[in-house]
Structure 1
């Protein structure tokens, strides 16, 4: 008992500078999709091209992200992160030059894909790094609670940057120029992702890996139904994020206040971040399976209110309820992903989950924007409800698969 109580905390094992660097290093990723949309719409004056370009960024991340995670598992995070930091910083700057040039749409889309493909996977890498430290350097009796607390913090950090990132993009584009958010993202990527890569924890490679870097588990373990259902669930959360922000923008534009959409979205984001931190204090008997279904149901209920809201105060209330559901759901899905990661492949799994959020967000933004423009706001407001239904259905499938496996 004395040994357990005197064992160092995760904060002490990783160090406070690690958490500060990792927080800022994930900010450029949160700025990318919105920054790309802003500069394309402002310079090329095409909302359709802007939405398509944002979706292509997500596609690049979805296609290449898991391979970056696999490379990090095999060769260590430092090499992968340094390479992507340099490449992504260059691509962000190049994208701005292409948009301002007389080049056609194809080079713009190609540059956008390159941004997504080279995007440093800071959030998944941080989760993998911390989970590895927990599993290898902490007493077994403390691992479950510490993992839950870590996933809570990581999700709250993601929520915070995804609220602050779009706000920062809007402020820079409004007060300086449309290229300013891309320039800042390029500098932050080079400096802080580089610092994240060079942090002492970046040298660590899982002890589950053999001397040649091979994993003890086969790659086919990544395609087990119990893991794929978690990826599908987190894809639904990504759909929810993209659909909600786009539908909310259309809702406020109908009232002549499109610039206030970000403020209302912050109601959900701030509440979600706070509730995500609180998940660590839930009792162990409230299992991850039950949490997925419970908080997914709250997400579904809030989405019904979004679909039926006719006044700003009703929408604000609906968003506050959504914040109660989405943060804990995200923490739960990442915790399940960590628990089901095959030995030596945690970075791969975390990048699969991170890519699921990004591609879901980009796809939903494009679809919801097209609905809002072609059919109307009322149709776009149904998209968060559809996304929430995906999350709940996956939660039910998870419960069935878990019982079958048990």
Structure 2
């Protein structure tokens, strides 16, 4: 008789192909509008950089304004996720998309009118705070659908990471193309329109939304950050975010210095394309190494790839180096989301995913500001030192505190067991299949 799976001898869940996953009833009804609504996330920061630089002439100012939007998104996003867990996704999305569109419109008008910088900061903060947390909400829908089938859930997370990277392939190229052929303001107008259309249609797909978990009188609120493992993963995703932020600003500046400003979106798209390719392949493999080991390995490769960017002599070489760097992004994110899903109770799933997304946004902000300042002081090549430092610090944190991820196994089982015997058993199998 087969032995019972344990933490020390993990069971590899049967890997489910992408086609069977996409045949899930109702999947396409929320995936298509979700993609439309997620695409602007990859356009907002670059769109702000292009617009503010065009009106101010300073990469430092452009990076700072974009950073304010990213910081606001990182800080407010998890609160939005918490409200979605409590009141439902549609109730949160409807006001968010409308406020976001209005804020982007105000930011654009103020930038074109050469208003004081502090007004740009204020409107950028509102625009960032109102970014719909579509990615986290989609992942929460997959969890609600496949909570008892780890093979399906792992493939779903891989698919979501690939979707994220696809938006970062298309988004920057689209934003750059619109900004250079029409005007930078038109790029942000497109971002706002896509957010409204995609967000409202996604909000209307209520049948696939996860069950609400309203607070009861006297009940204790479940916090995703109560888990040390979640905090560690959020910190490591902060390092990944610095790679995104510094790359956007540095590639834009480097391309302009080479006299090929219109190619910046394409070069950044190659970087994101490498991540997308790695995500597709990663989701097709039934991994036998533990998720913790895979996370450390992919993060180390990310640091190694980032260390080559500053030395590239031209855009072609930079695109090739960016491709290699991007190959480590998706495996890192997929594994991180797989780990964090097991660390929190059902009433905090969306919040937990949003903390990781918010950490990326916060890192993006730090990377944008640091790279912008370095570029203004010492030229575009120095901006590529920021990803090495940011990702390097993330790797140090993961290696030093990796025991927190091992210790989270018992926590995941304890959280799940509160819902009943069958639920606890299912959670135990999922944890055993994904962690050490």
TM-score (norm 1): 0.89
Task: Name the structure 1 match of 2:194.
Answer: 188
Q: How many residues align?
A: 391
**Distance of 1:213 and 1:352 partners within structure 2:** 24
Instruction: Give 1:289 shift.
Output: 0.5
**Which digits, 9 at most, give the CA deviation of each residue in 1:360-386, with x for residues without a partner?**
112101101211221334432322211
Counterpart mapping for 1:299-338 below 5 A: 299-338=302-341
**Distance of 1:47 and 1:402 partners within structure 2:** 39
Give yes or no for contact 2:175–2:265 (8 Å, CA) kept in 1: no
**Which digits, 9 at most, give the CA deviation of each residue in 1:43-80, with x for residues without a partner?**
34343322211011012112211111110010011100
Instruction: Give 1:396 shift.
Output: 1.5
- Answer 1 or 2: which has greater helix percent: 1
Task: Select which of 29, 39, 59 maps to 2:41.
Answer: 29
**Distance of 1:192 and 1:402 partners within structure 2:** 35
**Distance of 1:44 and 1:316 partners within structure 2:** 28
**Distance of 2:269 and 2:280 partners within structure 1:** 17
Counterpart mapping for 1:1-400 below 5 A: 9=21, 11-101=23-113, 103-135=115-147, 140=148, 143-201=149-207, 203-206=209-212, 209=213, 212=215, 218-220=221-223, 222-400=225-403
Residues 226-235 or 251-260, more deviating:
251-260
Which structure 2 segments of 5+ residues have no match?
Answer: 1-15, 410-436
Give yes or no for contact 2:96–2:132 (8 Å, CA) kept in 1: yes
| C-alpha spacing 1:265/1:203, structure 2 compared with 1 (3 Å) | closer
SS class of match (2:183): coil
**Distance of 2:192 and 2:319 partners within structure 1:** 34
Give yes or no for contact 1:82–1:194 (8 Å, CA) kept in 2: yes
| C-alpha spacing 1:259/1:173, structure 2 compared with 1 (3 Å) | closer
| C-alpha spacing 1:304/1:221, structure 2 compared with 1 (3 Å) | closer
**Which digits, 9 at most, give the CA deviation of each residue in 1:100-144, with x for residues without a partner?**
335322222111111011111111111112212211xxxx3xx21
Instruction: Give 1:213 shift.
Output: 6.0
**Distance of 1:215 and 1:252 partners within structure 2:** 57
**Distance of 2:219 and 2:161 partners within structure 1:** 29
**Distance of 1:235 and 1:112 partners within structure 2:** 20
Give yes or no for contact 1:215–1:345 (8 Å, CA) kept in 2: no
Residues 122-131 or 248-257, more deviating:
248-257
| C-alpha spacing 1:361/1:405, structure 2 compared with 1 (3 Å) | closer
Residues 154-163 or 240-249, more deviating:
240-249
| C-alpha spacing 1:397/1:281, structure 2 compared with 1 (3 Å) | farther
Instruction: Give 1:94 shift.
Output: 2.1
**Which digits, 9 at most, give the CA deviation of each residue in 1:169-201, with x for residues without a partner?**
121122222221222222222211000111134
SS class of match (1:227): helix
**Distance of 1:391 and 1:328 partners within structure 2:** 15
Indicate the RMSD between aligned Cα atoms, in angstroms.
Answer: 2.4
**Distance of 2:118 and 2:59 partners within structure 1:** 16
